[in-house]
Amino acid sequence: MELTKSAVHDLAGHRLARVSGWLAALVAGVGHARLLELLGCRPRRRRDEGSIRKRGSTYTYWLDIGPDPVTGKRRQRTKGGFRTKRECQAALNEAISALRSGTLVQPSRRTVASFLVEEWLPAVRMAGLRDSTWASYRMNVEKHLVPGLGAIELQRLSPA
């Protein structure tokens, strides 16, 4: 049976096409995308395509970055303040390509001090250093690096 737009409307009812049309499409053996096409509806965006909305006089994009590994809840990255939709789309495309290539960096407020004291020093100690070497590293971190650079956020650092 060839399913036409009029047949879908007859089966599903004019206003209930989205809910009942799905059932009619299943009965008639038509896929969801084909049903939306027949009804003249836009197909749903894929999760990794993102979306753009105008907020006041600027544009903002939203991008799904995958579920939280601990809770399984949906996570989104959003960035706004773009003057034009074209600027916003370009930034969204960059974020999508970074997400797909695995180079998208999550924003973090972690400081140099917390990284050195909580992560780097314990990792170096487990690497099999002598106790005197590790004590020297710890002293240099606490006396020189933390007072001078400790308050700087790690993501604000860049190569010279």
Residue 132 vs residues 65, 128, 137: alpha-carbon distances, Å: 44, 12, 9
105-142 tens-digit pLDDT: 777 889 999 999 999 999 888 888 899 999 999 999 99
When the pLDDT of each residue in the chain is averaged and rounded to a whole number, the result is: 80
63-89 tens-digit pLDDT: 998 888 888 898 888 999 999 999 999
Q: What is the pLDDT of residue 108?
A: 81
One-letter amino acid at 90 equals A
Has residue 24 got a pLDDT over 80? no
Beta-strand ranges (E) seen in the chain are: 51-55, 58-67, 74-82
Q: Dihedral of CA 66/106/98/82: which sign?
A: positive
Q: Tokens at residue 133, please?
A: 């070497």
15 or 5, higher pLDDT: 5
32-42 tens-digit pLDDT: 666 667 666 76
